[in-house]
């Protein structure tokens, strides 16, 4: 023990130890206020009003403080990836910069849009039912107190792509897209959006010859594509981490989202480690020098090698991997970047002064990494401790296709897509029957252990409160007092238990029952 302590002190004397104090409430509010001001004035746009800014800060501060107290990472299935921090709040603020100048000071637009963003950033990666119940109740309470906004998130959905789309006269593989088109619009008709996305899927099959791309675009699938496009088109954090159960078609959904965002997918060769690194080098050269938006899709079979996982984590964290390129190769890439942008008078000085920094910024801007993992992946159980970069530098989207509402939509879409002589009432009842059977099989086969209990409340047995009057004091003989005490003791032993109904929240006693 003495030798180990001596080695420890010999080691720490070579380091500077810095104690980082906990951010106080006032400091956190000041940080968020400054970040909001900077983002809202990006590209010379009109700043947001002080009143709206103060309300946004109140919402984000309260939300962050609550989720950090309750939604902690643990070994319980479905909570291993919880790493909620100020970074998630910054993503919500950066999303606000795309709001139109005419509507950014309107509470009726900012409140539902901010609530929608918090749902996409936080709720979309919450998988356990009791955690979702808690987050929904907390968000509703916060927005009710700050914005006096009491409408559900489902009533105000948004999508981020223009409906008119691009010109399909030329294939996507022959285009060089310099900027992803972003247009924030409320979802007025999910059915119409589903049809538009179905047309995109049809063009995808025609252009790439993927006739085996048999993905029926239901309203659930349309929502998945909309949410993935929101991530891929984000201005600062456009990397996607998708988790889903067996049969979720994760890879197909991501490829369709790439196509909708006009991001060219680069197929990664994972047959050998050297070919994998060669493919990665080619992607980095293309995104940095040519300025093309490239997407790479990594699945569970790509991430079985720990060296590859380390490389991807490093790439997501700093956008550079020292072992991918030699010094001479990096110098050549820096020179290629200078040559590519030396005609741009606005960038020439920046590029020549610090080509490495500009090189990395180009990769961050144009490289979109999408990771798809099944819910039973062994990597998920240790990702927050061994590879936190995969979580901190991506937006996690857990596809919840097991919920009764999602199953009912899929069953209804399946019956509607077939010409069956059924009345509307019978079709609805049959859809509900198929939904119940599917959900029952999910539970029986233990395919969704990470969901936990689905009960909104729990019953806790407690002692009934004592309704008896206090023991007689003052007047009365000592004999009467002794008899009274004996009677009280007897009633205490025979006290009844009562059932108390409590909300099923993450910090409730249900956590003890799950162990």
Same domain flag for 293 and 436: no
> ∠ at Cα 289 (172, 45), nearest 5°?
80
More confident site: 189 or 441: 189
pLDDT at 116 over 90: yes
Rounded distance, CA 283 to CA 389, Å?
20
pLDDT above 80 (res 218):
yes
Regarding whether 178 and 33 lie in a shared domain, the answer is: no
Q: In this predicted structure, what is the pLDDT of residue 469?
A: 47
- For residues 115 and 339, the model is more confident at 115
**Amino acid 473: pLDDT:** 46
Model pLDDT, residue 502: 74
Q: Is 366 helix (H, G, I), strand (E, B) or coil?
A: helix
- What does the block give as tokens for 152? 């559900």
Residue 113 confidence (pLDDT) above 90: yes
pLDDT > 70? residue 385: yes
Q: Which two tokens stand for residue 7?
A: 């080695």
Same domain, yes or no, for 186 and 293? Answer: yes
Per-residue pLDDT, 54: 94
Output the pLDDT for position 471. Answer: 43
DSSP E strands, 171-271: 185-186, 240-244, 264-265
Q: Model confidence at 487, in pLDDT bands (50, 70, 90)?
A: low
Q: Are residues 430 and 499 in the same domain?
A: no
Select the more confidently predicted residue: 84 or 496. Answer: 84
Report pLDDT digits (tens) over 182-205: 888 888 888 888 889 988 888 888
Instruction: Count CA within 13 A, CB hemisphere, residue 457.
Output: 6
Q: How many domains does the chain have?
A: 4
183 within domain boundaries: yes
Confidence check: pLDDT of 427 > 90 = no
Q: Are residues 395 and 409 in the same domain?
A: no
Q: What is the pTM of this model?
A: 0.82
pLDDT for residue 86 is more than 70: yes
CB 134 within 8 A of CB 94: no
Tokens (6 digits) for 321: 């991997």
pLDDT of res. 484? 54
**Average pLDDT, whole number, for the chain?**
81
368 burial (CB, 10 Å; 0-12 / 13-18 / 19+) is buried
373: helix, strand or coil: strand
pLDDT at 34: 92
Range name among 120-134, 190-204, 454-468 with the lowest pLDDT average: 454-468
Of 150, 169, 187, the residue that ends a domain is 150
Specify the pLDDT at position 482: 47
- The values of phi and psi at residue 352, to 5°, are -70, -35
Q: Does 461 lie in the same domain as 446?
A: no
Q: Would you say the C-alpha torsion 230, 233, 239, 242 has a positive or negative sign?
A: positive
User: Does residue 67 lie in a domain region?
Assistant: yes
Let me know if residue 8 belongs to a domain: no
SS3 letters for 160-198?
A: CCCCCCCCCCCCHHHCCCCCCCCCCEECCCHHHHHHHHH
Sign of torsion over alpha carbons 199, 208, 290, 238? positive
Q: Is residue 76 included in any domain, yes or no?
A: yes
- pLDDT at residue 232, as a whole number: 94
How many helices (H) and strands (E) the chain has is answered by 20, 9
| pLDDT of 407 over the 60 cut | yes
392 and 271, same structural domain? yes
Same domain, 376 and 284: yes
Spatial CB neighbours of 461, under 8 Å, sequence gap ≥ 6:
497, 498, 499, 500
The last residue of one of the domains, among 386, 401, 416, is 401
Highest mean pLDDT among 14-23, 95-104, 446-455: 95-104
64, 146: one domain: yes
Q: Please report which confidence band the pLDDT of residue 180 belongs to, taking 50, 70 and 90 as the band edges.
A: confident
Indicate which CATH number applies to the domain containing 371: 3.40.50.300
**pLDDT at residue 446 greater than cutoff 80:** no
Nearest CA-CA partner of 88 in 112, 52, 64: 64
Q: Is 426 a domain residue?
A: yes
Structure tokens at 205: 């099959």
Do 383 and 362 lie in a common domain? yes
Residue 465 covered by a domain: yes
pLDDT band at 347 (very low <50, low <70, confident <90, very high): low
How confident is the model at residue 323, as a pLDDT? 81
Range of 148-157, 168-177, 207-216, 463-472 with top mean pLDDT: 148-157
Question: Does residue 15 lie in a domain region?
Answer: no
Lowest mean pLDDT across 32-46, 65-79, 446-460: 446-460
The full DSSP string for 44-69 is: GPPPPPHHHHHHHHHHHHHHHHHHHH
Within 10 angstroms of residue 303's Cβ, the number of other Cβ atoms is 21
Identify whether residues 261 and 119 lie together within a single domain.
no
Q: What confidence tier does 499 reach under pLDDT thresholds 50, 70, 90?
A: confident
pLDDT band of 239, cuts 50, 70, 90: very high
Confidence of residue 494 (pLDDT cuts 50, 70, 90): low
Q: Is there a contact between 288 and 325 (Cβ–Cβ < 8 Å)?
A: no
* 11 within a domain of the structure (yes/no): no
Residue 474 has pLDDT above 50, yes or no: no
Residue 122 belongs to domain with CATH number: 1.20.920.30
Q: Taking Cα atoms as reference points, which of 406, 511, 505, 400 lies closest to residue 137?
A: 505
Q: Are 260 and 229 in contact (CB under 8 A)?
A: yes
> Which range is least confidently modeled, 5-14, 157-166, 437-446?
5-14
Is residue 336 within 8 Å of residue 289, measured between CB atoms? Answer: yes
Same-domain pairing of 272 and 307: yes
pLDDT in the model for residue 339: 80
Q: What is the average per-residue pLDDT within 119-142? A: 92
149-153, 253-257, 296-300: segment of lowest average pLDDT: 149-153
Query: Could you tell me the residue range of the domain that residue 99 belongs to?
Result: 21-150
512 torsion bin: left (phi>0), alpha (psi -120 to 50), beta (else): alpha
Listed residues 401, 418, 440: the one ending a domain: 401
């Amino acid at each position: 023990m003495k030798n180990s302590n001596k080695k420890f002190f010999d080691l720490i004397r070579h380091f500077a130890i810095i104690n980082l104090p906990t951010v106080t409430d006032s400091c956190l509010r000041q940080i968020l206020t400054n970040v909001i001001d900077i983002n809202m004035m990006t590209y010379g746009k009109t700043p947001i009003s002080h009143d709206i800014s103060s309300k946004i800060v109140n919402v984000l501060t309260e939300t962050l403080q609550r989720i950090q107290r309750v939604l902690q990472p643990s070994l319980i299935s479905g909570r291993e990836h919880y790493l909620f921090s100020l970074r998630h709040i910054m993503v919500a603020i950066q999303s606000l910069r795309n709001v139109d100048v005419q509507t950014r000071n309107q509470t009726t637009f900012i409140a539902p849009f901010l609530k929608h963003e918090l749902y996409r950033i936080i709720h979309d990666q919450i998988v356990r039912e009791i955690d979702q119940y808690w987050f929904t109740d907390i968000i509703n309470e916060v927005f009710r107190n700050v914005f006096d906004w009491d409408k559900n998130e489902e009533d105000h959905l948004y999508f981020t792509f223009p409906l008119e789309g691009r010109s399909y006269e030329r294939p996507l593989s022959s285009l060089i897209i310099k900027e992803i088109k972003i247009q924030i619009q409320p979802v007025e008709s999910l059915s119409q959006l589903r049809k538009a996305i179905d047309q995109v899927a049809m063009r995808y099959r025609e252009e790439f010859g993927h006739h085996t791309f048999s993905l029926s675009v239901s309203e659930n699938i349309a929502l998945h594509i909309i949410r993935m496009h929101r991530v891929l088109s984000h201005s600062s954090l456009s990397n996607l981490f998708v988790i889903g159960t067996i049969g979720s078609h994760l890879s197909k959904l991501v490829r369709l989202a790439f196509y909708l965002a006009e991001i060219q997918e680069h197929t990664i060769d994972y047959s050998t480690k050297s070919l994998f690194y060669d493919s990665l080098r080619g992607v980095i050269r293309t995104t940095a020098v040519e300025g093309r938006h490239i997407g790479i899709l990594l699945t569970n079979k790509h991430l079985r090698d720990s060296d590859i996982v380390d490389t991807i984590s490093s790439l997501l964290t700093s956008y550079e991997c020292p072992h991918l390129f030699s010094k001479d190769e990096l110098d050549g890439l820096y020179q290629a970047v200078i040559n590519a942008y030396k005609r741009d008078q606005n960038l020439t000085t920046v590029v020549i002064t610090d080509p490495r920094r500009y090189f990395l910024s180009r990769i961050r801007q144009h490289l979109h990494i999408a990771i798809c993992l099944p819910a039973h992946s062994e990597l998920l159980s240790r990702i927050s401790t061994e590879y936190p970069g995969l979580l901190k530098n991506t937006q996690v989207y857990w596809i919840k296709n097991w919920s009764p509402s999602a199953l009912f939509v899929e069953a209804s879409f399946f019956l509607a897509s077939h010409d069956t002589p059924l009345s509307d009432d019978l079709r609805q009842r049959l859809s509900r029957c198929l939904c119940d059977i599917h959900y029952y099989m999910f539970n029986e086969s233990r395919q969704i252990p990470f969901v936990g209990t689905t009960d909104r409340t729990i019953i806790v047995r407690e002692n009934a409160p004592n309704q008896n009057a206090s023991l007689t004091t003052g007047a009365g003989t000592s004999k009467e007092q002794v008899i009274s005490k004996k009677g009280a003791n007897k009633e205490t032993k025979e006290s009844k238990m009562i059932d108390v109904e409590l909300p099923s929240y993450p910090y409730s006693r249900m956590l003890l029952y799950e162990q």
